[in-house]
Amino acid sequence: FVTRDMMVAGKRVATLADTTGPGKIILTEDLSNLESAMPANVLAKPKTYDGDSENDVVEEEQKQQDGQQTRRIYGLIKLHLHNLRDCTVIIRCKIITSTVEISNCRNVTVKVESSATVATVQADLCDGLDVQFWDAPSNQNTSLHGMLPPSLAEKAAANMKTTVFWGEDKNDRVLHAGVTNLRVSTYRDGYQDLTTTADYKEMGAKAVGNASPEEMQFVTSVVDGELMTEKVARNGNASAHGGSSRVMTEREVEEERKRKEDAPCPENLIRFIDVNKDKGKGKDTSADDNKKGGDDTKPSPTSVASEKCEEVVEEVYCSIDVDAVVHDCEAQKAKANESFAAGEYAQAVLLYTLVMDRCAELPDSDEAAKIMLEAVTKKASPSKSATPPMKQLFPRHIILSNRSASFLKLGEHEKALKDAGQAVVLDPTYVKAAFRKGLALHAMGRYQDAVPVLGAAHNIEPKNKQIKQALQFAEVRLQQEMRKRMQG
């Protein structure tokens, strides 16, 4: 039995490794009460901004500064199973990220019970893996993980019933690569409901380029009421749209393509340009030629239309219902902000990533992706007078900045820097992104880079005390570093 007492102080990621059975390993419900105190960070929070993730935590963090009770969050962040043999792992606890990673295991059964929260399983290089979901809740039922203290959580659990079971949401999946003799099953009321088997060799995994057959990834999920295993057609580990986008099968890619083709064209997405704004540049001279040619030469329909109309249609977006996508993004962002305010930073990261994935379906996604990729090579300087390079259909820079704040809370400074850098490129005037980029650089010990970024943020908002304090602190650290270099 694994309980809170067995966890190393401050650790909220559980790893079970190098164990041989026979026997059972039970992650008890007691782990759902694993708590962590989250102290306030004065330097990491300037004033509130529209849509920003830290808006809802101002009052709580101010209480922390005044010496009152700190905010606490509950549960495991993630579970890793590595190099297990001939045993059964029973999961009964809440996992904030709803993710279990399994690698190099043989003849292992993983049983997810109704009190657990596991939506995604990633299995790699395993043999004889049996994954069972016993009345396990779907990803849709995980919004309150870690938000409530044990006493309230127990009451809430007693009054709540699982309305959506694992497999009924499209994000409930078992991802696997290099796994032989895999079995995935769902159980309801003690009886087996669905089951399927998979083997990467039998499914025709082949080496592609430098990737071995074991690296080809498959997805097992519920499709039309049946468990189905499909090959991944689009991997989401390196998305140009701002993060680890959702992996998609060939079926899903085709469904997405058809959906975009069949979607109605929103009238408000017809864009116009002024024909006369670029006179002399590629001007249509057919009308002048017609005049020189005499009465027998008639002007073309194109020239007549261009003379009568000052505007022409430049581009029409007909691929998707943009209003619906933007509405979904807003709803998901609200959930992510709630998770951030509750101290569920890992969950917030996942939800912000889902927002970015949804944004990738917008018509301006290619343009935004190109601009964000420039953040790798282009050093965009935050500036109050700068002009954003594009008008976004949805403010991706706010989502990236919020996810950067979440990564900062989790100590993932490089990821925080990447997100904040992309946000700055999308909108150099957004001070929160510049501030978080500076904080990430500072946390990485890159004081020489942090000072100009924080300085630029300070120029945007000279009266912001948090930015001013962070800038002064970075300047002090930079001076200390320079002294050490001179002395060494």
At 283, the amino acid letter reads K
Full-prediction pTM beyond 0.85?
Answer: no
Q: What is the pLDDT of residue 309?
A: 43
225 three-class SS: coil
The angle that helices 447-460 and 431-443 make with each other, rounded to 10 degrees, is 160
Tens of pLDDT, residue by residue, the chain (488 residues): 777 677 665 567 889 999 998 999 999 988 887 665 444 443 344 455 666 666 655 444 444 444 444 555 667 878 999 999 999 999 998 887 788 999 999 999 999 999 898 989 999 999 999 999 999 988 665 444 444 444 444 444 444 454 689 998 888 999 999 999 999 999 999 999 999 999 999 999 988 777 789 988 999 999 999 999 999 886 544 333 444 456 788 888 888 777 766 655 544 444 444 444 444 444 444 434 444 444 444 444 444 444 444 444 444 444 457 888 888 889 889 888 888 888 888 888 888 988 988 888 888 888 888 888 776 666 667 777 788 888 898 999 999 999 999 999 988 899 999 999 999 999 999 999 999 999 999 999 999 999 999 999 999 999 888 899 999 998 998 888 888 888 76
What is the C-alpha separation between 240 and 371, in angstroms, rounded?
Answer: 10
Contact 121, 100 (CB under 8 A): yes
Give, in degrees to the nearest 5, the angle at Cα 84 between 78 and 89.
60
Q: What is the pLDDT of residue 271?
A: 46
What is the C-alpha separation between 306 and 284, in angstroms, rounded?
Answer: 9
Q: What is the pLDDT of residue 50?
A: 64
Tokens of 106: 């043989």
Q: What is the pLDDT of residue 390?
A: 86
Distances in Å between the Cα of 472 and the Cα atoms of 438, 455, 479 are 12, 9, 11
Q: What is the pLDDT of residue 9?
A: 57
What is the C-alpha separation between 411 and 432, in angstroms, rounded?
Answer: 18
What is the C-alpha separation between 344 and 256, in angstroms, rounded?
Answer: 31
Cβ burial of 454 (10 Å; 0-12, 13-18, 19+) is: buried
Cβ burial of 35 (10 Å; 0-12, 13-18, 19+) is: middle
